[in-house]
Structure 1
Amino acid sequence: MDNDKLMEFLGRFVGDVGATMAAGNVVVGEQLGLYRALAESDKPLQPADVAERTGTDARYVEEWLRGQAAGGYVEYDADAGAYSMTEEQAFVLTNPDGAVNAPGAFQLALGSLRALPRIVEAFRSGEGVGWHEHAQEVFVGCQRFFRPGYIAHLVSEWLPALDGAEAKLAAGARVADVGCGHGASSVLMADAYPASTFAGSDYHAGSIRSANSRAAEAGLSERASFTVGSAQDFTGGPYDLVTTFDCLHDMGDPLGAARHIRDSLASDGTWMVVEPFAGDSVAANLNPVGRVYYSFSTFLCVPNALSKDGGYSLGAQAGEPAIRQLVTDAGFTRFRRVAETPFNIVYEVRP
């Protein structure tokens, strides 16, 4: 045995254990306002100061701060025994509308892990675990994980990259947002394009209730409505634009969904497919982002697909060749990658 390689692997293991426990601590810090107290202070704070500002117990806060400093999530001044946050740390940990929302991602991870007994059994049986069978933290965390990327890129970059779609939206288009979840994407588009109407659909009734509530809170209910329905049977059309955000790979019958989307599009309509960033092969995905997506996919995406009829299980790292083949099999004739971020790839699909 190579002792250096052993120590290297043990170091990776220790880091992973620390990261696993850090997930819960990040959510604690957000929910109790501990990060925000540090970020809003104009000077480093003692643990007792953080506790006083947040109405929490100083001893708990002290231990929490030590762990956060060890992980690099807050800064520690050893001479003063005080803690602070950099601008970058505060941006990732306290800004729900920023480009990255770390607490939401950790909430999604913790919610996913609640299904551990079911996933272990599914490995043995080959049966699926439906999206609706997961903990509430999964639905909320998923919306919080992906929404910042949509805020940063959807209206400013992704929609303008589609051939002619933005002009249609500005003039007044009919849009179907399939697999809409809590409706973050629909609400963002409806707010940006007041002449257009948006019909969101998702098979998960709880998410649809949340989506309708969010649209109402934003004053957009007249133009953004949400109904329970699958990607294979959503109603309406013909639509000028159909969108699927980070959900095609979750479907047990994505081919059936693609065919239904094609039938629901206007002759000059567009399907915008937003999928997790992935390379064209397993080897190309052996990196930190690929690890995140493969891990989530094992607990969420593949189990949901296997719980449905259809025979597919693309997984979150399906990659461009698999998506291209799918839409081609569904009868589409035009396909191109139009945008990408570290977490997503955007495809334009035309009849």
Structure 2
Amino acid sequence: MMANSPADILVELEAAVATCPLDRCARILSGILQLLTGSRDRSQELLCGVVDGVLLRLTERVEVGALIELTTTLADLKVAPPRTLRRLASHDNADVACPVLQRSQALATADLAAIATSCGERHQRAIAARDCIEPDVTEALIKRGAHLFHALIKNPGTKFSEAAYATLAGADQDGEIAKALVLRPGTPDLIVRKLLSTAPAKPAPVRAAPAKPNASAVAPVQAVVAAPPKPPSSADYASARPEIVALSRVGKLNDSTVNRFAIRGETANLFTALSVLSGAPIEIVEHVMSDDDCEGLVMACRASRLNWATTLAILSNRNGPRLSFAQRERAQLMFETLLLSTSQWTVRWGEIAASANTGDPGHRGAKMGVSR
């Protein structure tokens, strides 16, 4: 009697599964799961290839509860039956698909990208929560809509291509996406600079022109006149300082926090943070923030131990005209070549401190005694 080949045996096994009672299918499925979870890596790889077709048949013959058990188990295996995994990942029922979509390391990138283009919202969010998301998958998710943008940006495992960054920037209506990307630690410095240089300028506050007693007797004037933003008041500093000092004491007065202050325009918090971090009085911080030359501000940021991305955010969000590309390049070169000790000495006791101290002796910062 001639022995059947392994392929013939598998065909017969699949055919048997297709006609066996449902309760028996569930028992077979449970037994295969035990084999998969109990085998070593090498034997597991061989076993996955053998049982893949049988598992595919079983997925058609068992109820949703058994499928959820199957997908939960396969999602945590480094090696899993590929065709069965794809079937489960693309299942219409999100309870079945999401464990594999979110956790499986065995699911191919191409399969994830293909599923992302057609799956439901729960499926999309499961993919967006993966520990590692390859650029092709990221691009596929971005094309599905803005509801996934922030989830992808907040996930440290997301990998963005240049095309993905361009799509996000093009869809940014209110600047919130740019802010999130600038604050994201993994965003490349070049992208940060592009985002900051193209961010919409904040509208200047306006005040109504005084009422005219006789409009026909005077020359026409503009209805509104732009007023330059006022620096923080003593009350603003007094309100900001306790929180800033508390953040510093617990080690949370860092680049991310200061970057957020700059982008959101929280001037009192930003000025106070630079004062606390650099050890310079608040009047020196105000002086370098208002100086047309950015050299003093770059030194203050370097003295505060901030990184270049945060420094650029501060430079790009202060009052006055935006820096040109050449000015930004010069500022970065200065930042990268400055010694920390030199920067700290200059903003505390050097020429920058002397320049600030020659101003109004009744300065509110001096009155407050806001120096560290």
User: Using CA pairs below 8 Å that are at least 6 residues apart, which structure has the higher relative contact order?
Assistant: 1
Larger radius of gyration: 2
TM-based fold match above 0.5? no
Task: Give the number of the structure whose residues are more often strand, by fraction.
Answer: 1
> When the two structures are superposed, what TM-score results if normalisation uses the length of structure 2?
0.28
> When the two structures are superposed, what TM-score results if normalisation uses the length of structure 1?
0.29
Task: Give the number of the structure whose residues are more often helix, by fraction.
Answer: 2
